């Protein structure tokens, strides 16, 4: 399909994405990315060499800085999705949406559609209506599946079907499907306009976890004093010193006790891990007990070392960005299978 160059998209200067359209390889499928964050989903799709994001939406100012630093070729809209003039959006092949998960998360209040953030799924579907993509890709917390005894998820699937799409979904764990040492389960929904593509698509198969914690965490590197826990800075340091013994695992301080993640992988990274206190991942390095660095958190989300982190924003914002993001290798594997399904359909049609 590519990008439709209809005149309506140029009615307002802010929606003139001509330079971005001209920058992409026309042989690739085009992606419109909603709630893009720092671009983890976009990176996963682009790493396949089959997709190119041409438009993204992200309302968080600091996440937008990181996104723009790494995706200068993408038109980034910093409006909320409710404010986007949807009828002016480009026609694309894929719409991706990591709509906010707090309304459905176990860590949140689980209000679902009663929370205004829960309604952002329907805003996503308004974008789908106007852009008419071949594929809709959704990512969210595992708890979305069971929220309100499954009724919330049923509404989402039915809405996709009623919009003319054939959805498939699966809960995937980063350690089992991304070769990343993090225990992070997420629900992925892939919906196709074409029944043939739907039939050809399969979610990635489970793979062996070969990466270790020391592949993503620098236990033997001295880092800034900021990251270390000491007797002077932390009233619970004696408890940490007593329990944080191994470099084979990641620990967490749980307000009153130390929790060891005995599976040898990192527990799920969270958006608030940079605020200190409860649930902050901790390690025993060669130089003392410390929290993970921001870069290590991005490593544990599967971002490559070439992914740039801005130097002019607070550490807490970078921790939040990492915790809110996705596991890039899992996205890449799903996107690869999406491409294969679409190519199979094109071959059947002789394209």
C-beta separation of 91 from 80 below 8 A: no
Q: Catalytic: which of 21, 56, 101, 271?
A: 101
Task: List the one residue out of 259, 261, 262, 276 whose CA is nearest residue 316.
Answer: 276
Q: What whole-number distance in Å separates Cα of residue 89 and Cα of residue 237? A: 53
Going from the C-alpha of 148 to that of each of 113, 144, 152, 153, 155, the distances in angstroms are 10, 9, 6, 9, 11
For residue 57, count CB atoms less than 10 angstroms from its CB and return exposed for 0-12, middle for 13-18, buried for 19 or more: buried
- Helix (H, G, I), strand (E, B), or coil: what is residue 135? strand
Active site residue 266: no
Separation between Cα atoms, residue 66 and residue 75, nearest integer Å: 14
In angstroms, the CA 213 to CA 211 distance is 7
Question: Six-digit token pair at 177?
Answer: 């499907």
Nearest to 53 by CA among 28, 87, 16, 86: 28
Residue 269, helix vs strand vs coil = coil
Residues assigned a catalytic role: 101
């Amino acid at each position: 399909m590519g990008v439709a160059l209809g005149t309506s998209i140029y009615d307002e200067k802010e929606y003139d994405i001509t330079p971005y359209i001209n920058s992409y390889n026309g042989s690739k499928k085009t992606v419109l990315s909603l709630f893009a964050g720092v671009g983890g989903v976009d990176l996963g799709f682009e790493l396949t060499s089959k997709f190119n994001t041409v438009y993204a939406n992200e309302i968080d100012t600091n996440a937008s800085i990181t996104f723009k630093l790494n995706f200068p070729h993408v038109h980034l809209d910093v409006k909320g999705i409710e404010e986007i003039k949807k009828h002016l959006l480009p026609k694309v092949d894929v719409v991706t949406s990591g709509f906010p998960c707090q309304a459905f998360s176990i860590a949140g209040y689980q209000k679902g559609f009663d929370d205004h953030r829960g309604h952002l799924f329907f805003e996503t579907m308004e974008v789908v209506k106007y852009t008419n993509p071949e594929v809709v890709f959704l990512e969210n917390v595992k708890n979305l599946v069971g929220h309100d005894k499954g009724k919330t998820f049923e509404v989402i699937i039915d809405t996709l079907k009623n919009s003319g799409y054939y959805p498939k979904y699966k809960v995937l764990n980063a350690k089992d499907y991304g070769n990343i040492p993090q225990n992070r389960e997420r629900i992925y929904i892939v919906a196709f306009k074409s029944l043939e593509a739907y039939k050809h698509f399969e979610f990635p198969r489970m793979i062996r976890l070969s990466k270790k914690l020391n592949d993503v965490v620098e236990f033997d590197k001295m880092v800034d004093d900021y990251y270390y826990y000491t007797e002077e800075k932390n009233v619970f340091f004696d408890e940490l010193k007593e329990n944080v013994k191994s470099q084979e695992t990641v620990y967490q301080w749980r307000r009153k006790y130390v929790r060891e993640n005995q599976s040898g992988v990192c527990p799920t990274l969270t958006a608030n891990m940079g605020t200190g206190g409860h649930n902050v991942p901790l390690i025993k390095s060669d130089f003392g007990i410390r929290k993970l660095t921001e870069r290590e958190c991005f490593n544990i989300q599967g971002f490559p070392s070439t992914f740039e982190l801005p130097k002019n924003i607070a550490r807490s914002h970078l921790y939040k960005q990492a915790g809110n993001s996705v596991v890039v290798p899992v996205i890449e594997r799903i996107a690869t299978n999406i491409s294969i399904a679409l190519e199979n359909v094109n071959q059947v049609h002789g394209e």
